[in-house]
């Protein structure tokens, strides 16, 4: 007797333990592929880093002179450095989303989807791999810490790298979610292009959140990147001898401590990734 | 009861796929034996890729059922995936990675060990003639090389059934012949079932068996020889001084089925060669050339669909 396949598929017969190990192996393979790609195209990596470097060296130095003469306090290069680090992970995160959309459009993704791996694993693997490459690229900019007046203290650099990883994860997760929802590459490109610039400028990366008109301040407080920048800034202030902490976001007079900010980032990233994986798991 | 069928490589009953209002595949009944090379012939849009999509578990059937390597595709897709390799219509190799890295990444997704990956990649790169190019980025490969790499990649995890969607589209004749040679070796040496779609008639000739698909339905299946024999007649094409007059004469005097086309008079008859001397001797309008052709797969397609493959 034959019966219809329109009903729900039965449980898989593979043992759960072996299954979990297989998914993990696939996850690692997906991560490794992103790293291999990064190493395989050093020119692309260099170009991606050029943008934040230009902002740092040209805009930072220019504004530093102007602001220094106007206010006479603090070094603008130090102030803007966390924002530059953010920018350095933002671009690769955006590229990761672009490659998801493109791979899906060109059918490249199907070669992976036809493997005995859950769709969710494929997406999470891609996201984590891209997080790793984005972190590596942001990490390269840590070599410019001295220019920003930071000491080359291993502990400080390690802390910044860890935070960059978290920021990269959250950003990549959001971009991944967008990439899952938007299937046309042109739409994705313009949508993310439009979203990224205001998100960056309203994060306190370039100018202080304090003293903004109320509506701008409200937007800034809703922006996840605000907490990323402030977390990096708190770490810089902590790790730099005589470092002063510029005013960051406050929740009704209470400035969220570093731990809370990192937790907010982490929670947002996980939520975005879970949503993306869920949406992506629907079979065609 | 499940749709598992351990004795056939591919077995479908009433397999159907609908996109909105459009029916891409109407109840498909198909059985492909193990080790067979099976060609799915039809024009673009006939539902060939959709069928491969369902058989390779990437598309959910709207109705009906299918078993690949004896396992139901809808119930146990992961078990099916372990046993199949797929070469897609569009290129899917990672251009930034080397050939070797592409194979290795793919094999890791299937949980193969490092040692096994190494051994298998070496054998397959050798087999597809890319042993000396394994360390070059795929971006530097020609179309034919990329295709052969994809065949190697699809074979890394030792599948029982290999699906190829239009495997030689866009390849030059030499690359095409190379890909075909590899596929034949596979079937003969390793008993791998090869299931491919094509809209090239020449390509279908290579298969043990073919099915002709049109508008989502199977219109015929069998060995290329069977299909051609089934439509029976040879075609005798004549060029004459007056084609219309000649056709009329052939119909009246010999009682044969003759039509006038752009390529002259077409006469369908069994054993066409034996008619040639009589036609030449008795037609008054002067025969300038005669060709006798055994039926081609295009004739098979024409016979079953009323259209020529080359027009559709």
Q: What is the ipTM of this complex?
A: 0.81
Q: Are residues B21 and B86 in the same domain?
A: yes
Confidence band of B291 (pLDDT split at 50, 70, 90): confident
Confidence band of B310 (pLDDT split at 50, 70, 90): low
Residues A152-163, mean pLDDT to the nearest whole number: 95
Q: In terms of C-beta distances under 8 Å and separation of at least 24 residues, what long-range contacts does B296-300 make, across chains too? A: B296/B201, B296/B228, B297/B41, B297/B201, B297/B204, B297/B205, B297/B210, B297/B224, B297/B227, B297/B228, B298/B201, B299/B228, B299/B231, B299/B235, B300/B212, B300/B220, B300/B227, B300/B228, B300/B230, B300/B231
In chain A, the residue whose alpha carbon lies closest to the alpha carbon of B77 is A116
Whole-number average pLDDT of chain B: 87
Confidence band of B141 (pLDDT split at 50, 70, 90): very high
Q: Are residues B91 and B155 in the same domain?
A: yes
Confidence band of B135 (pLDDT split at 50, 70, 90): very high
Task: Yes or no: say if A228 and A189 are a contact pair by the CB < 8 Å rule.
Answer: no
At residue B299's C-alpha, the angle toward residues B221 and B223, to 5°, is 30
pLDDT at A190 over 50: yes
pLDDT at B171 over 80: no
Q: What's the total number of domains in chain B?
A: 2
Is B122 contained in some domain?
no
Residues B42-64, mean pLDDT to the nearest whole number: 91
Is B127 contained in some domain?
no
Residue pLDDT, tens place only, B92-106: 998 889 999 999 999
* Chain B closest-CA separation from residue A118 CA (Å): 9
Residue spans of the domains in chain A: they are 69-199+263-281
Task: Yes or no: say if B31 and B65 are a contact pair by the CB < 8 Å rule.
Answer: no
Q: Judge: B108–A26 Cβ closer than 8 Å, yes or no.
A: yes
Confidence band of B284 (pLDDT split at 50, 70, 90): confident
Is B254 contained in some domain?
yes
Q: How many CB pairs under 8 A join A and B?
A: 110
Confidence band of B186 (pLDDT split at 50, 70, 90): confident
* Chain B closest-CA separation from residue A224 CA (Å): 33
Q: Judge: B58–A4 Cβ closer than 8 Å, yes or no.
A: no
Q: Judge: A32–B108 Cβ closer than 8 Å, yes or no.
A: yes
Residues B287-301, mean pLDDT to the nearest whole number: 82
Out of A47-56, A260-269, B67-76, least confident range: A47-56
Q: Are residues B203 and B239 in the same domain?
A: no
Is B59 contained in some domain?
yes
CA dihedral B224, B225, B226, B228 (to 10 degrees): 80
Q: Are residues B214 and B239 in the same domain?
A: no
Pick the residue of A5, A27, A32, A98 with the most B CBs within 10 A to test the interface with B by mutation: A5
Chain A contact set for B76 (CB, 8 A): 9-10, 12-13
Out of A59-73, B25-39, B75-89, B173-187, least confident range: A59-73
Smallest CA-to-CA distance from A198 within A223, A164, A228 is with A223
Please tell me whether residue A143 adopts helix, strand or coil conformation.
helix
Q: Are residues B186 and B240 in the same domain?
A: no
Is B255 contained in some domain?
yes
Q: Are residues B12 and B79 in the same domain?
A: yes
Q: Judge: B92–A3 Cβ closer than 8 Å, yes or no.
A: no
Q: Are residues B193 and B237 in the same domain?
A: no
Question: What is the structure's pLDDT at B182?
Answer: 78
Out of B47-61, B94-108, B169-183, B204-218, least confident range: B169-183
Domain limits at B149?
A: 8-95+141-224
Q: Judge: B110–A115 Cβ closer than 8 Å, yes or no.
A: yes
Residue pLDDT, tens place only, A19-35: 888 899 999 999 999 99
CATH code of the domain covering residue B199: 3.40.50.300
Residues B227-242, mean pLDDT to the nearest whole number: 81
CATH code of the domain covering residue B273: 3.30.70
Chain B contact set for A116 (CB, 8 A): 78-79, 81-82, 109-111
Residues B196-222, mean pLDDT to the nearest whole number: 87
* Chain B closest-CA separation from residue A277 CA (Å): 17
Residues B37-41, mean pLDDT to the nearest whole number: 91
Closest Cβ–Cβ partner in B3, B105, B153 for A29: B105
pLDDT at A4 over 50: no
Task: Yes or no: say if A160 and A153 are a contact pair by the CB < 8 Å rule.
Answer: no
Residues A144-154, mean pLDDT to the nearest whole number: 90
pLDDT at A157 over 90: yes
pLDDT at A8 over 70: no
Question: What is the structure's pLDDT at B33?
Answer: 92
Give the end-to-end CA distance of chain B in Å, rounded to a whole number.
41
Question: What is the structure's pLDDT at B3?
Answer: 53
Q: Are residues B18 and B50 in the same domain?
A: yes
Pick the residue of A115, A118, A281 with the most B CBs within 10 A to test the interface with B by mutation: A115
Residues A263-276, mean pLDDT to the nearest whole number: 95
Q: Are residues B212 and B254 in the same domain?
A: no
Chain B contact set for A30 (CB, 8 A): 109
Chain A contact set for B93 (CB, 8 A): 111
Residues A111-125, mean pLDDT to the nearest whole number: 93
pLDDT at B1 over 50: no
Is B67 contained in some domain?
yes
Confidence band of A48 (pLDDT split at 50, 70, 90): confident
Q: Which residues of A make CB contacts under 8 Å with B?
A: 1-6, 9-10, 12-14, 21-22, 25-26, 28-30, 32-33, 36-37, 40-41, 106-108, 110-117, 283-284
Chain A contact set for B98 (CB, 8 A): 40
pLDDT at A9 over 70: no
In chain B, the residue whose alpha carbon lies closest to the alpha carbon of A125 is B109
Confidence band of B112 (pLDDT split at 50, 70, 90): very high
In chain B, the residue whose alpha carbon lies closest to the alpha carbon of A281 is B58
* Chain A closest-CA separation from residue B154 CA (Å): 9
Greater confidence (A150 vs B179) lies with: A150
Count of Cβ atoms closer than 10 Å to residue B185 Cβ:
12
pLDDT at B277 over 90: no
Q: Are residues B238 and B269 in the same domain?
A: yes
Q: Are residues B189 and B91 in the same domain?
A: yes
Chain B contact set for A33 (CB, 8 A): 94, 97, 101, 105
Question: What is the structure's pLDDT at A284?
Answer: 66
Question: What is the structure's pLDDT at A14?
Answer: 45
Q: Are residues B31 and B54 in the same domain?
A: yes
Question: What is the structure's pLDDT at B240?
Answer: 86
Please tell me whether residue A251 adopts helix, strand or coil conformation.
strand
Question: What is the structure's pLDDT at A126?
Answer: 94
Task: Yes or no: say if A95 and A126 are a contact pair by the CB < 8 Å rule.
Answer: no
* Chain A closest-CA separation from residue B70 CA (Å): 14
Task: Yes or no: say if A234 and A258 are a contact pair by the CB < 8 Å rule.
Answer: yes
pLDDT at A73 over 70: no
């Amino acid at each position: 007797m034959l019966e219809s396949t329109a009903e729900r598929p039965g449980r898989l017969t593979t043992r759960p333990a072996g299954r979990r190990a297989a998914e993990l192996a696939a996850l690692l393979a997906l991560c490794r592929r992103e790293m291999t790609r990064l190493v395989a195209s050093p020119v692309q990596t260099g170009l991606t880093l050029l943008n934040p470097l230009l902002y740092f060296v040209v805009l930072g130095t220019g504004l530093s002179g102007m602001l220094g003469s106007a206010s006479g306090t603090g070094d603008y290069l130090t102030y803007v450095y966390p924002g530059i680090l953010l920018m350095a992970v933002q671009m690769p995160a955006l590229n990761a989303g672009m490659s998801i959309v493109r791979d899906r459009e060109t059918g490249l993704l199907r070669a992976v989807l036809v493997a005995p791996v859950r769709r969710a694993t494929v997406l999470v693997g891609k996201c984590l791999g891209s997080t790793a490459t984005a972190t590596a690229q942001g990490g390269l900019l840590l070599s410019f810490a001295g220019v920003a007046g930071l000491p080359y203290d291993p502990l400080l650099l390690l802390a910044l790298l860890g935070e960059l990883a978290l920021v990269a994860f959250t950003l990549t997760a959001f971009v991944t979610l967008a990439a899952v929802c938007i299937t046309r590459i042109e739409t994705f490109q313009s949508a993310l292009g439009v979203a990224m610039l205001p998100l960056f400028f309203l994060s306190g990366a370039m100018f202080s959140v304090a003293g903004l008109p109320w509506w701008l301040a409200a937007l800034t407080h809703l922006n996840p990147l605000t907490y990323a920048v402030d977390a990096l800034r708190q770490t810089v202030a902590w790790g730099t001898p005589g470092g002063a902490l510029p005013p960051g976001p406050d929740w009704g007079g209470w400035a969220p401590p570093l731990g809370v900010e990192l937790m907010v980032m982490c929670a947002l990233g996980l939520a975005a990734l879970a949503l993306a994986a869920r949406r992506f798991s629907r079979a065609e | 009861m499940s749709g598992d069928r351990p004795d056939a490589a591919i077995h479908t009953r009433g397999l159907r796929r609908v996109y909105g209002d459009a029916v891409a595949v109407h109840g498909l009944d198909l059985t492909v034996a193990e080790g067979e090379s099976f060609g799915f012939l039809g024009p673009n849009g006939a539902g060939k890729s959709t069928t491969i999509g369902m058989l390779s578990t990437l598309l959910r059937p709207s109705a009906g059922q299918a078993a690949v390597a004896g396992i139901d595709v809808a119930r146990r897709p992961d078990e099916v995936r372990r046993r199949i390799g797929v070469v897609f219509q569009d290129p899917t190799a990672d251009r930034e990675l080397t050939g070797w890295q592409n194979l290795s990444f793919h094999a890791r997704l299937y949980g193969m060990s490092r040692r096994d990956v190494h051994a298998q990649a070496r054998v397959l790169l050798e087999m597809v003639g890319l042993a000396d190019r394994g360390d070059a980025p795929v971006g530097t490969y020609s179309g034919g090389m990329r295709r052969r790499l994809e065949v190697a990649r699809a074979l890394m995890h030792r599948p029982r059934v290999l699906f190829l969607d239009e495997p030689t589209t866009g390849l030059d004749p030499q690359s095409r012949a190379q890909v075909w040679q590899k596929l034949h070796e596979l079937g003969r040496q390793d008993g791998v079932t090869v299931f491919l779609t094509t809209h090239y008639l020449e390509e279908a000739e290579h298969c043990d068996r073919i099915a002709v698909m049109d508008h989502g339905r199977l219109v015929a299946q069998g060995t290329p020889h069977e299909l051609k024999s089934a439509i029976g007649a040879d075609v005798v094409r004549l060029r004459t001084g007056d084609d219309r007059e000649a056709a009329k004469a052939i119909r009246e005097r010999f009682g044969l089925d003759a039509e006038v086309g752009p390529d002259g008079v077409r006469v369908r008859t069994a054993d066409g060669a034996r008619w040639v001397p009589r036609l030449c001797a008795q037609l008054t309008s002067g025969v300038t050339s005669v060709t006798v052709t055994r039926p081609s797969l295009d004739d098979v397609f024409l016979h079953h669909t009323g259209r020529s493959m080359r027009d559709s």
